[in-house]
């Protein structure tokens, strides 16, 4: 099982930026942007932004190896690759 570390790097009026490290025997690093309106849409403010990012990586890791996850992306991009993402993540 991979360990997922999410660290908030920056916050603007409209978004957060996180550094995410996924590790087991090796590790990958990712820069993730999360727009505040998208966070509100997915969580209704019931889940912290960090937890949403972590849950999103858990979602991705079930579907692809950590090495296949983009190095830098906006969290909303996941739905373009996995149409079930928003429905699934809202259940968590």
Angle between helix 49-63 and 36-43 (nearest 10): 80
The conformation of residue 17, written as its DSSP 8-state character, comes to: E
How confident is residue 92, by pLDDT bands cut at 50, 70 and 90? confident
What residue segments make up the domains of the chain, in order of their start?
3-91
Is the whole-model pTM more than 0.85?
yes
Over its C-alpha atoms, the chain yields an Rg (Å, rounded) of: 12
**pLDDT, average across residues 69-82:** 98
What six digits make up the tokens of 11?
């916050």
User: Per-residue pLDDT tens for 12-47?
Assistant: 999 999 999 999 889 999 999 999 999 999 999 999
Q: How far apart are CA 39 and CA 54, in angstroms?
A: 13
How confident is residue 1, by pLDDT bands cut at 50, 70 and 90? confident
């Amino acid at each position: 099982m991979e360990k997922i570390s999410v660290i908030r790097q920056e916050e603007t009026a409209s978004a957060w930026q996180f550094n995410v490290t996924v590790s087991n025997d090796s590790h990958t690093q990712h820069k993730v942007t999360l727009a505040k309106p998208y966070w509100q849409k997915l969580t209704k403010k019931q889940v912290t932004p960090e937890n949403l990012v972590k849950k999103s990586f858990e979602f991705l890791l079930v579907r692809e190896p950590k090495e296949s996850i983009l190095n830098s992306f906006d969290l909303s991009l996941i739905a373009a690759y996995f149409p079930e993402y928003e429905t699934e993540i809202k259940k968590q």
